[in-house]
Structure 1
């Protein structure tokens, strides 16, 4: 057998190898080509899918909406209490746009959502510094994160961010993305979007921002708390310099312009001037408590469930309330106020202002049960007296310094009138108008403090009340909310009414999740008694009444009662359409001066007129069991032709005087046939109308 040379064998094997190698390269090339084509197909399919697939509902779009009685959105429920106003790019200062792009994303118009060079540079810097010191998120990436994702640092979140970024770039133009970004980004202090931020910081529209203001605001989103000029001015100025330097680098401004802008003295709004987070922030908080606490909705559902919450709030009345409070408190630092207004016919809350400025304090004084109502409580007691039949508007007591004995003569009480002014023999109308304390204590001892408390409970007062003579003077703390509810009973002809704020709640598809049932009211006092008290309370705004100083501001029938303590000032009153309680005072229990103690009445007057500007004046409906007779003011008996003074007074039928006055003549007693106008009294067209109506 022939033996082959080893060298020859090696050459043979090598020859076979070289013949086999091209075939392997061909197969490898075909594989790589196929994989590449497959990858391109997959990428194409993925891009097509992403283009056709819907983006998720933005987080801000899932927030529940608070809707007023006219169907307009007045607030957004979110965990941040978002203050947001969307504007177009044309309504934003070019300086703000340039500042944002120069600082956050200079390649915005060149990249497709991802800045690869920036990402590479950031990775190198981070590796050099052995930590994360630089990021490279584009505006589109930031927008995707803010709209659809949380800020947790996980791979799944980063993957979703990349997908949503690509979709945004596919579905929207660069102008749309920039507009959405500037309307979405957080600028601190509850302001989302540049329009809200411009108003909050500078009190102007975004389109009116200067270069210096734009550079200041463009630097805030990097750290809304750390770079806020309201919190850390030095940090904010340092950041402003960085933004201005970026504008110099991009060629948008010169160094001289940058220096001038940096040295410009900016004028920021004071806290009292800043707009609230929402149009009715105290009302929004109140509704939130109702939806979660009373109706049982989950807080997460409220903030991110896309609910539509339809409420009773009247936007015109709310605007009037906020304007009235602001106008009277603007010149008095630290002075607080509360206003709650209810429609007495159905209990709908029409306006609610819980304080002087929501940005400074979120405490809602409307529900504060720590304030003494003072004399504004007296009508509840007088209604008890009139409804019991023990007293009428003509009942008399002597207004003079008196030592009262009570609790089976074991205790004494010696009240005083304001300014130590005593009027002698007076009737209930005079007592209400002048807010006489002696008459009030005589009344509560006549009808019984327990009966007054029982009446208060029926009228909606839930705060503790002590059955002592001083209750007549409003010494038991009661909230403005309770006072407005109670006075609504008087306006509603003696029927109680439960306050209502939420009418309906629907989900994002319009399915009704809750709907308020019509409230069942109860007749707790005869309509005639409520009407008689109403007529007596109208005297508060007439000559000699404690509310007379604002009578010229109110051009319609109105009844009410003032109340003043050393720390609290009140005016609680009503028309046929609104029952309103106004309180003014200091949170720290500071004593009210004369000027501060007179703030409640003008707030009430300005609000009432403005809120009802489009509503024709109406007289209070007169029930069947009301009679009107002329009486002699001195004796309280039926007036005759011989009486020098006659006063038209109203009574619950059966309680009117039956005896004629005999003090002014011994002739035959005859009732006066026609009204006699008392020139001493203050009159208005509706007063004359009421007299004509009752004749």
Structure 2
């Protein structure tokens, strides 16, 4: 047993000596650094000590020799023991620093959200840190920073005496360099091992970096509370600004926090006292003038008590989900990506203002508990604004409801990307498909009660046919019948009966194909829909519907919705960049015809009146509203050549509203948004350089006018606006209306024709 222990000890000593020899240069350098620091700081004390030793050299020689020898062994052992765990210089240089990923607006200057795991940190350069922040930190943490070699013997001795007198740990003696090392590599646990490691590496790092580099590193690492690490993150959390914009008073506040983050951030009076103490010391050391001191002492900066970095929440969450799917959640939490999005803060603010302005009014007037808005640039597909609910941070209602199921207001559900029925807002796709076939805006159909199930009587009073299938004879929302009506008026006035006839003429499959091409991707199965489709009988998202209307605005060019302009890593390398995805899906003249109809107020006045929320003075603007059965959904989607926006109003649980058509519930929000945006453009275009207006909204000029369509004369009376006393199926071939023929073989011919004859006979 003794032999085995001896062999193990021998092997241990050999390995130790071998390691000492391999690392002799590093060990000697560290010892030299330490001895130099001690000698410089204690030269006066050492001089007195050596004088005393010389006078008493004989009696002390023997004892001193033993003491020195064993002291040296102890110190050497501690250095050697702990040196093995000290990171190398290469380790320090190559150290990976976790940084938060920033989601920014389209200017790249406004932070919408910080994505991080444990550490909310943004590393910034020395030039981005104001001198006041540096000076305040030095006087608060280490006023001898520029004069020591990593450890401050005087500070340690002073802290030791104060702690002895106080009977506990009252003051620390760590330098900024030591704190930096601790934050970089070591645990916060106060042990002898950690303090020795801290001292060794502090001395070493002082030879590796300049003082300013060490201070910059410290200010990028030090915790400030509320999960903010580094002065940039702290500036955002406490003052909602960049570090470079901090005032002297704010700099002193931040410098006060690292000493006791929780205590000071939750005790305003103590924090103020600490701030004044730091300002006093800055004056004492000559870092600020008396005037600056007086002014800053009188200031008490407002701290964001309930700070939330989540701006434009539904948009941000959509971007975050995309990043997580593409790059992985763990990666983006610490990669320090810079994600410049398409969101325009000016338009986002206008959208929030419009939704908020009508939120409570809609609850009171219509029992409509929620609202959403999305806006895009139709020329690029870039999403400019997104409001997924009227208040993301609000409480679900009614109280006790089940989110995602029974809540009328479900704040965190993004309505803009959720499926809803669009009501009459779907009608323009059917009319565009009909125009493609050869029908014209002047084509006449009869807006009268009509049965669309060929197995049901034309009188439109029966509920089911002989096979048990539902008869289908929809009413207009106002229950009125206008008789012969042009397609342009039927669309502008949102006549249900006329629109179902248009869908039949255009073809359900053709209409779905066109809607899909224009951006309605939710319509997967073209065979699963009937004639009720044109009245909103399919589920679509507000984002899809709004984007598809943008295809009309661009005269038939489909631009895929996008929300990323650029993604860079923390070194400035571009990972991805906006690339427009465009394709022509609709003939220009057909898009022009839809724009002409939806932007001409006189076509809709019989129903909506001269003064309505669908017009905005001075703007050539097209708009279509939509209302579903029992008022479950109210829509308004409209556009100029350079901006398209859609609004939805309703209840998350599909509970019916109280008599809330789109023109009354959604259109006011849509109208206010457009007015605000173009009013801002008119003001900003007069005093800003073009490059400073990030969303390039043209001034109100020919560029913001729709192109006048070519509406040719076909030579066929019913297509040229002349009623002929018959249904259109009696007068033209349904699928080739500009060729001679009729549609008497259509299964709906008798129902349509008999209804017209009956209406004319009763007139």
What is the match of residue 440 of structure 2? 392
1:325-340 equivalent positions in 2, closer than 5 A: 325-329=355-359, 335-340=369-374
The 3 A distance-change label for structure 1 pair 580 and 244 is: closer
Query: In the alignment, does 2:614 pair up with 1:531?
Result: no
What is the match of residue 12 of structure 1? none
Query: In the alignment, does 2:430 pair up with 1:381?
Result: yes
Query: In the alignment, does 2:310 pair up with 1:304?
Result: no
What is the match of residue 699 of structure 2? 616
Q: Which runs of 5+ in 1 are unaligned?
A: 1-18, 98-105, 127-133, 228-235, 248-267, 640-653, 659-695
What is the match of residue 77 of structure 1? 114
The 3 A distance-change label for structure 1 pair 181 and 497 is: closer
1:507-518 equivalent positions in 2, closer than 5 A: 507-518=569-580
Q: Which runs of 5+ in 2 are unaligned?
A: 1-56, 146-151, 276-302, 395-410, 457-464, 686-697, 723-735, 741-763
What is the match of residue 363 of structure 1? 413
What is the match of residue 655 of structure 2? 590
Query: In the alignment, does 2:501 pair up with 1:442?
Result: yes
CA contact (8 A) 1:575 1:620 kept: yes
| 1:647-689, Cα deviation, whole Å (9 max, x unpaired) | xxxxxxx99999xxxxxxxxxxxxxxxxxxxxxxxxxxxxxxx
What is the match of residue 537 of structure 2? 475
| 1:485-528, Cα deviation, whole Å (9 max, x unpaired) | 2112111211222112123322122222223444241x222111
**1:467 positional shift:** 1.4
**1:57 positional shift:** 7.3
- Give TM-score scaled by structure 2 length: 0.57
Could you tell me how far apart the structure 2 residues matched to 1:346 and 1:297 are? 25
Could you tell me how far apart the structure 1 residues matched to 2:121 and 2:617 are? 35
Name which of 555, 559, 564 aligns with 2:622. Answer: 559
Could you tell me how far apart the structure 2 residues matched to 1:578 and 1:196 are? 34
Could you tell me how far apart the structure 2 residues matched to 1:589 and 1:137 are? 65
1:26-41 equivalent positions in 2, closer than 5 A: 26-31=64-69
The 3 A distance-change label for structure 1 pair 83 and 177 is: closer
| 1:456-503, Cα deviation, whole Å (9 max, x unpaired) | 211121224641121110021211111012112111211222112123
Query: In the alignment, does 2:487 pair up with 1:428?
Result: yes
Name which of 645, 665, 673 aligns with 1:580. Answer: 645
The 3 A distance-change label for structure 1 pair 119 and 148 is: farther
What is the match of residue 495 of structure 1? 557
| SS of match in other structure, 2:655 | coil
Could you tell me how far apart the structure 1 residues matched to 2:545 and 2:710 are? 26
Could you tell me how far apart the structure 2 residues matched to 1:578 and 1:506 are? 28
What is the match of residue 354 of structure 1? 388
Could you tell me how far apart the structure 2 residues matched to 1:136 and 1:22 are? 35
Could you tell me how far apart the structure 2 residues matched to 1:26 and 1:154 are? 32
Could you tell me how far apart the structure 2 residues matched to 1:148 and 1:125 are? 27
What is the match of residue 691 of structure 2? none
| SS of match in other structure, 1:413 | coil
| 1:534-574, Cα deviation, whole Å (9 max, x unpaired) | 11111368634649522454531111200123222111111
The 3 A distance-change label for structure 1 pair 164 and 602 is: farther
CA contact (8 A) 1:321 1:339 kept: yes
The 3 A distance-change label for structure 1 pair 162 and 138 is: same
| 1:323-382, Cα deviation, whole Å (9 max, x unpaired) | 22222225566832222222222212222222222323332211001x111111111111
CA contact (8 A) 1:146 1:184 kept: no
What is the match of residue 255 of structure 1? none
Name which of 287, 300, 315 aligns with 1:283. Answer: 315
Task: Compare the two structures and name the one with the higher helix fraction.
Answer: 2
| 1:573-603, Cα deviation, whole Å (9 max, x unpaired) | 1111122211122223333235795342122
What is the match of residue 749 of structure 2? none
